[in-house]
Amino acid sequence: MPNRPYIVGNWKMNGTRAMLSEARAIDRAAARYPGVQVALAPPFTLIAAMAAEAQAIGIGGQDCHTAVKGAHTGDISAAMLADAGAKLAIVGHSERRGDHGETDAVVKAKAEVALAQGLGVIVCVGETLAERDAGNAEAVVKGQVAASLPDLPEEPQRVAVAYEPVWAIGTGRVAAVSDVIAMHRAIRATLTQAWGAEGAKVRILYGGSVNAENAGDLLAAEGVGGALVGGASLTAESFLAIVAAASSAREE
């Protein structure tokens, strides 16, 4: 079911083993929503434990290195993620781009190495508030997509793009549905330009202050193939409300 909505929780630098019970509850409940594809990206330290137990959800990493192995103290490779049981990797999150100076070229290299290791990838893009206020949001995001997207892989459906306006991340300030629709359309056009007809197979997710209240409207919006959820993915209760909203949005 390639067009199932894809709901991905990004735990960022949150979570110790005490939180495995939340993941367990999410996994158990996700089995009740076969029409929704659910994944969680915990910190690296929890991937193996979660992956060993997960049945209904995919477990992923929040980043990976551009190399498969080598002298890169503190880094984790896509091969290591796969070895730990991960099925996907998020790459190019704005916190990686911002905190670690990751460029589009680095993000592209990470996406390609993750695909080569058999993982799915979620390539994150999004404009800053200054860029939006200057009227440059679409140009910035289209540029990021064009330069961060991996070269056309054998299985393009393993790639998703997450549109996350930087000003909406962790701020409680969600993008207007009409702006999300317009941006997703622009991203789709860029994907088609890059990959031809195969560009239609890429799911485009929205991220940035998604919660139980706004998820229904966002997920029902034209061109929105799912959500990348930060804060609201940290408890089973708030995350499952979003999964439920995705399930109803699909039935409407």
Counting residues that bind ligand PGA (by CB under 6 A) gives: 13
Closer by beta carbon to ligand PGA, 115 or else 232:
232
Does 93 qualify as catalytic in the annotation? yes
* Residue nearest ligand PGA, CB atom distance: 230
Q: Are residues 182 and 138 in contact, defined by beta-carbon separation less than 8 angstroms? A: yes
| Alpha-carbon span 4 to 15, nearest angstrom | 28
- CB–CB of 87/47 below 8 Å? no
**Dihedral pair phi/psi, residue 6, rounded to 5°:** -115, 115
Q: Which is nearer to ligand PGA, 35 or 170 (CB)?
A: 170
10 binds ligand PGA (CB under 6 A): yes
Paired with 123 in beta bridges are: 91, 161
**How many CB atoms are closer than 10 A to CB 202?**
22
The region of 142-150, 187-195, 208-216, 237-245 touching ligand PGA under the rule CB under 6 A is 208-216
Give the active site residue among 65, 93, 95, 184: 93
Q: Does 214 bind ligand PGA (CB under 6 A)?
A: no
The beta-carbon contacts of 170-175 under 8 Å, at least 24 apart in sequence, are: 170/209, 170/230, 170/231, 171/208, 171/209, 172/209, 173/208, 173/209, 174/208, 174/209, 174/210, 174/214, 174/218, 175/206, 175/208
In angstroms, how far is CA 55 from the centroid of its own chain? Answer: 20
62 touching ligand PGA, by CB under 6 A: no
Catalytic: which of 22, 102, 112, 164? 164
34, 35, 98, 170: residue in contact with ligand PGA (rule CB under 6 A): 170
Active site residue 198: no
| Closest listed residue to residue 206, CA positions, set 169, 163, 160, 167 | 163
DSSP string across 136-173 = -HHHHHHHHHHHHSPS--S-GGGEEEEE--GGGTTTS-
Using CB under 6 A as the binding rule, the residues of this chain from 66 to 85 that contact ligand PGA are none
Binding ligand PGA (rule: CB under 6 A), the pick from 5, 138, 231, 245 is 231
Query: Which residue, 79 or 124, has its beta carbon nearer to ligand PGA?
Result: 124
Q: Based on CB atoms, which residue is closest to ligand PGA, 61 or 231?
A: 231
Binding of residue 228 to ligand PGA (CB under 6 A)? yes
Shortest separation between residue 213's beta carbon and ligand PGA, angstroms = 13
Taking CB under 6 A as the rule, does residue 164 contact ligand PGA? yes
Residue 181: count of CB within 10 angstroms of its CB: 17
Q: Which residues are catalytic?
A: 93, 164
Contact positions vs ligand PGA (CB under 6 A) = 10, 164, 169-170, 207-210, 228-232
